[in-house]
Amino acid sequence: MQIKPRILLVEDDEGWLKLLYRKLKSDEHEMGIASSVKEALEKFEKEKFDIVITDLKMEVEGSKEGGFVVIKQVKELSPSTQVIVITAYGSVEYAKKSFKEGVVDFVDKSGDWIEELKRALKEAIDQKLRVSLKPNPFRPQDTNPPFLGGREKELVFFEKVLQDALRGYIRHLVALGEWGIGKSSLLYYFKKIAQENGFLTALIPLRKYSKAETQLEGVQGIIQAMLREFPGTEISSLKNFLKKISGIAIAGCGISFENVKENQPEILLQDSLCSLWEDLKDVSKLIIVMLDDVQNYWEIPDILITLRQILGHPKVKKTGFLFILSSTLAEWVKLTSVNRYNPVRRFFEPLELKPLSREEITMTVKISLEGTGVIFTDDVLEKICLFSNGHPFEIQMLCRNLYENQIGGTIDYRNMDKAIFQTIRHLGKTVFENWCREIEQDEIVVLDTLAKEEEPMSEEGIKLALLNKKCEKAIYNVNKCLANLSKKKLVIQFNELYTIQDKLFKEYIKIRGQV
């Protein structure tokens, strides 16, 4: 059901007010009235109006320019609210002045002016309805957002990597960052760039492998996914591949492995890449393979050693294969810090994704809103920066909830608390509660203590707060708890003071029992 547009009619002449109300009222919209500047501003602050129709010549504090006061206050409180001016001035200068204040239409009280006012109102309503049909541009769970903000340097860098690869200098990459930092979205945009340049590209989201599975199954999964993902590639046309790799069967648009359990994963991967290159080199000068979330190989980590060995093999180096991995930073560091995995870390060039700056957040939000007719006020943008810490997923989630709560195209401070609560509730179910399950009860107690304080706390301050709460057992473990929480990046330390790193997580800890 479509929400009716809400209109506020402002006119200090009672006769004109009654006449205009009678002429403009309709079942297709709701209309409120105000007979003074003061009444108009009080109503606008308490209620939400999509369109304001106001006379210019109204009394206010000894002045006859009350209409300009209404316009100014309305546009400050709700920039997307459309304002239509009516006046008996008949002055071009007054019309110009009102347009500078953000007026969308100006009707002079002369001739058939009421019909002209009806036309102006209809146009404003039509514009409002067009805006209300725009889909939400913020998609936190979508790996291909309409606009990828704050990653211009990475996109330019990738284009340079492609140019170097065409000249024979192939650099295999790994995109690193914590959850929700935008690794998958970046790979999606890398794929778009590669395909626009005419290169076959496979973007492969990796599932989690278990201890019961083997490295061979991991390699088979890569090969199967590559063949599914390459656009316009008929399996039956891959003569060299089908001849070289025995024990496979064509299954629909892909392949299945049947009697290849005895194969060594290294040989299977090398033979597959070399034979596929022979089949496809005339189609694409480069073949890009992206493995998203390689931390899911944690139970079969030797597959990364195999990948590094085969990509560094002289035969494979003569092909045009370029591999790009993505991983959570903590898991990548943890794995490649082990001596036998050091070569993996050195082989893949790291591309670490950082949180967005305030400028990048503001630009991302404003560009995403282009064409929607919806506006986020400056104080809302500031709050988004504050609560998200530049974290792309949290930015998208906050903005999605803010956008869903807009009425009439403006998001201001009145929408913020509800959007924050909705965001915390969603993240609590999908992310934050999992973090809490993975830590000890004493660590939860320490987090709860930190969450209740606005300012960072010293270790001694935490112990004192726990003593006041009669949590004697946790007092003896504070040092150990802080070390573990810091290691998990739930708490950060600076100048011997501690605080919860993620502000939305901090708010979640405060209200954990309510969501």
pLDDT at 259: 65
Cα 361 to Cα 366: distance, rounded to the nearest angstrom: 9
Q: What angle do CA 168, 171, 177 make, to 5 degrees?
A: 160
Q: Alpha carbon 396 to chain centroid distance?
A: 3
pLDDT at 332: 95
Q: Is 499 helix (H, G, I), strand (E, B) or coil?
A: strand
Q: How many CA atoms lie within 13 A of 58 on its CB side?
A: 26
Exposure string for 213-227, b = 16+ CB within 10 A, e = fewer: eebbbbbbbbbbbbb
| DSSP 8-state secondary structure symbol assigned to residue 252 | T
Query: What does the domain layout of the chain look like in residue ranges?
Result: 6-132, 152-352, 362-514
pLDDT tens digits for the chain (515 residues)?
456 788 999 998 888 889 999 999 888 889 999 999 999 999 988 887 889 999 888 888 777 778 888 888 888 777 778 888 887 755 556 655 655 556 778 888 777 888 888 988 888 888 776 666 578 889 887 777 778 889 999 999 999 999 999 999 999 999 999 989 999 999 999 999 999 999 999 999 999 999 999 999 999 999 999 999 988 788 889 999 999 988 888 877 788 887 655 568 999 999 999 999 999 999 999 999 999 999 999 999 999 999 999 999 999 999 999 999 999 998 999 999 889 999 999 999 999 999 999 999 999 999 999 888 788 989 999 999 999 999 999 999 999 999 887 766 778 888 888 899 999 999 998 899 999 999 999 999 999 999 999 899 999 999 999 888 888 778 888 999 999 999 888 999 988 999 999 999 999 999 886 65
Token pair recorded at residue 454: 């606005």
Cα 149 to Cα 210: distance, rounded to the nearest angstrom: 35
Cα 166 to Cα 155: distance, rounded to the nearest angstrom: 17
pLDDT at 216: 92
Token pair recorded at residue 239: 């003569």
Q: Which CATH class is domain 6-132?
A: alpha beta
Q: Does domain 152-352 have CATH number 3.40.50.300?
A: yes
- Check residue 349 and give left, alpha or beta (phi > 0: left; psi -120 to 50: alpha): beta
Cα 191 to Cα 314: distance, rounded to the nearest angstrom: 26
pLDDT at 1: 44
Q: What are the residues whose beta carbons fall under 8 Å from the beta carbon of 352, sequence distance 6 or more?
A: 175, 176, 177, 329
Q: Does 362-514 match 6-132 at the fold level? A: no
Q: Please answer whether residues 383 and 416 qualify as being in contact, where contact means their C-beta atoms are separated by less than 8 angstroms.
A: yes
pLDDT at 396: 93
pTM: 0.75
- Count of CB atoms within 10 A of residue 34's CB? 22
Topology, domain 362-514: Arc Repressor Mutant, subunit A (1.10.10)
Token pair recorded at residue 45: 């602050």
pLDDT at 455: 92
